[in-house]
Each structure stands twice: as structure tokens, then as C-alpha cells.
Amino acid sequence: MNSACSFQDCERKVYARGWCSSHYQQWRKGVPMLPIKLVKPRNQAYAGIRRNDPNKFWLLAKEIGECLVWQGNFYPNGYGNFKQNKVSHLAHRHAYSLAVGDIPDGMLIDHTCHNKACVKPSHLRLATVKQNQENLGGLKSNNTSGYRGVSRDYSRWRAVITHKKTFYHIGTYDTPEEAAEAVRLKRVELFTHNDLDRVA
């Protein structure tokens, strides 16, 4: 006996007359039979957690390496999405608020670990927009040198940096590595939140 719905490509369990519950209701109402829209499976991280559990937020995070990684839902940009009282919050900002306190207007929360999914309070800090941009963990999509602030200049390599709307041309170098080191040293001089440059 076929236990799957007889509607083409529908694998749902038979409810009545050879159709699943949804297709049976379409037939009963006399409307055109259409495929059933698949429902996105529920995030299993929420399984077993009560909606009003006061520890719900921290139960949705998991220790992975040195980070406390968000396991709940995400925004398309890769940041965690935590919903409370029908209001959505950025998970890392909510974590900072819970652990440290209110976030001043206009301030961002910067990840010192460069992991957007991390909600570990010790990996989060207040930052201005400028400071947050200083603490970049990767390269821009149009970068061809493999180094931040370095581009090809005919047979040599140009080192440049922008700080507080001022453009600095540091110089041209024989190798991209020399140019990258010049840019790094200039960033250390001008920036305050460029952690990766300071451990190089």
C-alpha cells in the first residue's frame, strides 16, 4: 500500500482518499490542486527550551574554541538574531547588554575575535563606526594583492591608507610584503582598534 500522497512529487503522508491532509483539503474545497509550499524546518537549537525561560539566550549559544557561538537564527548578513517579546535583536548586542549594560546611542559592538556569530561578552567591546572599521578581519572583495592597503603600481606595489577622511600615500615598494608592512606600521600609528596589526 502506498503511504505517500498521490499528488505528483508530494511525499507527505496520506490522510484521506490517497492525498495528504493539505491536498485533501484542496480537493474538498474544489480548488485547483497545487504543490504544497515546503515549510523551513525549525532550528533544532530551540528544541527543549521554553519560550519564557530566563536563561533562553545563553542556552542558544555553544562554546566552540575560544568563542561562544550563537546557535539560534541568523540575519542574512551573518549576525545572530534573537527574538524576545516579538522584538528582534542582534544577538551580540543583546549579549553585551546582558553582561555589561546599556549601549550608548550611536555606538556599535565590535567583535575582537572577528567572528560575527560570537556572543561571548569578553570578545565584545564598544566602538564607534570608525573604530569598528579599523578592526577588519579580512580583505575587500576587489583586493588583488592579498594585503590590506596594497595595490599594484606597474612593476611596483603601492601602500595607501585613509584615516579620518585623509588619504595617505605611504610609498611604493618592490614587493607586496614590503608595502604591506609599511601600511601595517602606519595603521598602528593612526588607528586604535586594529588588533590584528598589533600582534603581527
Residues 63, 91 within the same domain: yes
DSSP for 114-147, please give it: --TTB--GGGEEEE-HHHHHHS--S--TT--SSS
Distance CA 141, CA 149 (A): 13
| Residue 155 belongs to some domain of the structure | yes
**Is 97 inside any structural domain?**
yes
Which pTM value belongs to this model? 0.69
Last residue of a domain, one of 112, 127, 142: 127
How are strands ordered across the β-sheet holding 166-173? 150-153, 156-163, 166-173
Q: Identify the CA nearest to 84 among candidates 61, 105, 41, 55.
A: 55
pLDDT digits (tens, 9 = 90+) for 144-178: 888 888 999 899 999 999 888 899 999 999 999 99
Domain span holding position 58: 52-127
Residue 142 lies in a domain: no
Percent of the chain with pLDDT over 90: 48
8 lies in some domain: yes
- Residues 168 and 121 reside in one and the same domain: no
pLDDT tens, position by position, 57-79: 999 999 999 999 999 999 988 89
